[in-house]
Amino acid sequence: MSVPLRPIMSALTRHKAGVLLIALQVALTLAIVANAIFVISQRIAYISRPSGVDESNIVIVDNRWVETLTFEQAQAKTAADLAMLRQLPAVADAYADYSFPVAGPWADVWGISLNVGQKSPTSFSEPYYTDEHALVTYGIRLLAGRNFRADEVASGSQLEQPKSGPIIITQDLAKKLFPEGSSLGKTIYIGGVGHDIIGIISDMEVPSVGTRSFAYRSVLSPIRLADLGGDQYIVRAKPGQAEYLRKNLAAALYQISRMRVIDAVGGVQSFQALRSKAYSRDRGLVVLLSAASIILLLATAGGIIGITVYWIDERRQQIGLRRALGAKRLEILAHILTENFCIVFMGICVGSLLAFAVNVALMHYLEMTSLPASYIALGSAQLLIVGQCAALTQARRAARMSPMEATRASSLVNPYNLIVEERRG
Amino acid sequence: MIAQWNPLPRFYAAVDVQSFERSPQIFLPFQRALDSKIPTAGSRFCAPTYQGKDWDDLVRSECSWISFWIELPDEVAVKQYRAFLAAYAEEQHANGRFNWPAYTRLRNLNQWLKYMKVVPSEARISFIVALGLLLVCTVNTIGLLLARFMRRGPEIGIRRALGASRGDIYAQYFVEAGVVGLAGGLLGMPITVAFIGSLDLMFDAKIARLVHSNVNIMLLAIMLAVAVAIIAATYPIWRASRIQPAWQLKAG
């Protein structure tokens, strides 16, 4: 079986407007879909980043004091709360912080330098204000060195930068600061103040959700936080007890003191719920772009079906004649599919360039990286498949036509031929 | 007592990334808040050397934690205020209060919102995607209408032969395209309502709350659908009107 390319080409040149419209639609679709898939895959990778902590067992309490407290009072009240929480049978451990991984409401940013006088920091990082309980509370592994001792932890407020002393950093930050050799025991400088690295922990995400360049460069600073307005209590439940704690923690805290506000809805939430909320925009974008891509591909399929129906109707007699002269059904099918392939391929060629152009434009307006060619290949493959499937639905109808029916005089006249003749005349 | 006051985005809370929260319920004179030592809940930016703990320390510190909004009557006043700010910062620098050169900016509301990147990038991507969809669907409509109108060559030929002018053909097909657009727009209404209703499944509830269907938007959407259909029909109709009645009748 041979596919006659010459008749296809001459047919295509005769239907210039229709061919160009479909090719243009394919090109635009490819330009959008390739970029959409790229954004989707980036966002999915971003959403599914592990936070590095024991997510399923962590519950977070947003505790707000209602009284005007001095620092010492806030400190005592926070300590009493934490002591009570740690005593609860369902609690594995707990500590107070101003924020927590990924979904934290706030984030401080620290520049970390290797020397005192360094102009620009070697790396940025975001701190946690922790005590000796933080490692167990998050369930982070200590890869080297040791945890803070209780006597190394000083009380402080979030505004205060740490005085010199021990510090624990993540492996990612350690690798950035000291690419060769161990960072354990080395001194790093934050705001001109030296800190000795006493421990290296497994990678744990920083508090702010949008931080992409230093996402795993967290620092644990030995500051027992007691903010005047109140803090977040990060509580790790014993396995299977997280839901129980989520429902009962507020009541337990109110028993110690009623002079606080724990929001009835958002006051106590599971880490997973907070994490999911933090990524809601990204998830929304993934859903939106997926839906838009599917609609675009369907619209293109619809366009191809519409124009193929027309072309087949227009060529009923020609198809019938070919069948009568011995052409097999498969040859008719192949003819129409090849025709479709040529059009879609034209569209893909233009669309690839257009996709890169759209990408460059997007890079100007949005935080986008350059589009890898593989996404264009993926989009092209989708369009070829959609195009062939769309054409196939109609091509099968054409191939089923019996030679008799097709050659029967039809009232349907080919207006394109008329126009061609008109031009010739 | 005042009526609900919640200008969205909440420009004054942009620093705290709380531009789309619900409205505050209590307003205090600033001095009263200071006198009663109410703890701050917003962002605070302090120098690395800051060692304060208490509320009193914060109030006396060089930390920045207050946003100032100024209402200026006209351009001249803006210029004067800008000059005043620059001179003040220069003076403080000269007095040794700040060890960095003066850097002052005075932004109006829109410049401020832009500077704080209050509009999420997702909203901009959505807008671009919507434009792309509209463009592709327009091209699609041109193709479909072309096929539809050309198929009816004989009909056009007969009408022309019976005395219809080109203008009559234009009128008939533009009306037809407009009706197609109107039908599409009306069909789109329930889909739009359903989509807006489920927006909070996709977006942050705070953002989703900003979008609700109203009559104006619906009318605008229907008008857009009709306009796009008519624009898309222009080329197919021009082609259809070129059909020569004689050829059609002869062939028929």
Contact (CB<8Å) B50/A159:
yes
Per-residue pLDDT reduced to its tens digit, A358-390: 999 888 877 778 899 999 999 999 999 999 999
Chain B residues within an 8 Å CB radius of A28: 132, 135-136, 139
Name the closest residue on chain B to residue A302, using Cα atoms.
B140
How many Å apart are CA A231 and CA A63, to the nearest integer? 6
Contact B50 A161 (CB under 8 A): yes
Nearest to A343 by CA among A36, A17, A3, A2: A17
Do A17 and B239 form a contact (C-beta atoms < 8 A)?
A: yes
* Contact criterion met (CB < 8 Å) for A366 and B121: yes
Tokens encoding B218: 């619906």
Q: How would you label A109-123 residue by residue, b for 16+ Cβ within 10 Å and e otherwise?
A: ebebbeeeeeeebbb
CA–CA–CA angle B25, B29, B35 (5° rounding): 115
Q: What are phi and psi of A234, to 5 degrees?
A: -95, 120
**How many Cβ contacts (< 8 angstroms) between chains A and B?**
163
Q: Which residues of B touch A351 (CB under 8 A)?
A: none
Inter-residue contact A268 to A60 (CB < 8 Å): yes
Backbone angles phi, psi at A262, to 5 degrees: -120, 110
Query: Residue B57 pLDDT more than 70?
Result: yes
Sorted by where each begins, the domain ranges of chain A are: 5-47+281-424, 64-261
- Comparing CB atoms, the residue among B125, B133, B252 nearest residue A413 is B252
Chain A residues lying within 8 Å of B51, measured CB to CB: 160-161
User: How far is it, in rounded angstroms, from Cα A357 to Cα B190?
Assistant: 35
| β-pairing verdict for A142-145 and A193-201 | antiparallel
Are the beta carbons of A299 and B137 separated by less than 8 Å? yes
Instruction: Reply yes or no: is the peptide bond before residue B9 cis, omega within 30 of 0.
Output: yes
pLDDT at A418: 41
What pLDDT, on a 0 to 100 scale, did the predictor assign at position B247?
A: 64
Residue A65: in which H helix or E strand, if any?
strand A64-65
Nearest chain B residue to A422, by CA: B244
Q: Both tokens of residue A193?
A: 């103040």
Amino acid letter, B192: T
Please return the burial class of A321, using the count of CB atoms within 10 Å of its CB with bins 0-12, 13-18 and 19+. Answer: middle
Quote the mean pLDDT of chain A.
Answer: 87
Question: For residue A58, what are its two tokens?
Answer: 């962590």
Please compute the mean of the pLDDT values over residues A266-279 and round it to a whole number.
Answer: 91
Please state the pTM of the whole predicted model.
Answer: 0.80
CB contact under 8 A, A413 and B154: yes
Indicate yes or no: CB of B235 within 8 angstroms of CB of A17: yes
pLDDT tens, position by position, A56-108: 999 999 999 998 888 889 999 999 999 999 999 999 999 999 889 987 767 78
Instruction: Please indicate whether, in this complex, the C-beta atoms of A299 and B132 are within 8 angstroms of each other.
Output: no
Tokens coding B103: 């850097």
Residue A397 confidence class, pLDDT cut points 50, 70, 90: confident
B41 closest CA partner among B20, B68, B66, B21: B66
Interface mutation target, options B60, B135, B140, B151, chain A, most CBs of A under 10 Å: B140
Nearest to B48 among A191, A229, A277 (CB): A191
Q: Is A286 exposed, middle or buried (0-12, 13-18, 19+ CB in 10 A)?
A: buried
The answer to whether A293 touches A32, Cβ cutoff 8 Å, is yes
- Which residues lie across from A65 on neighbouring strands? A260
Q: Each residue of A126-173: pLDDT tens digit?
A: 999 999 999 999 999 999 999 999 999 988 776 666 678 899 999 999
Q: Cβ separation of A413 and B44 shorter than 8 Å? A: no
pLDDT of A2-53, one tens digit each?
566 777 777 777 777 888 989 999 999 999 999 999 999 999 998 998 999 9
Which range of A32-36, A285-289, A304-308, A318-322 scores highest in mean pLDDT? It is: A32-36
The C-alpha atoms of residue A108 and residue A98 are separated, in whole angstroms, by 10
Domains of chain B by residue range: 1-69, 72-118, 121-251
To the nearest 10°, the Cα dihedral for A369, A373, A376, A377? -150
Q: Tell me if B63 and A159 make a contact (CB, 8 A cut-off).
A: yes
Q: In chain B, what residues touch A299 (CB-CB under 8 Å)?
A: 136-137, 140
Least confident window among A163-167, A342-346, B149-153, B186-190: B149-153
Confidence class of residue A181 from pLDDT cuts 50, 70 and 90?
confident
CA distance A89 to chain B (A): 33
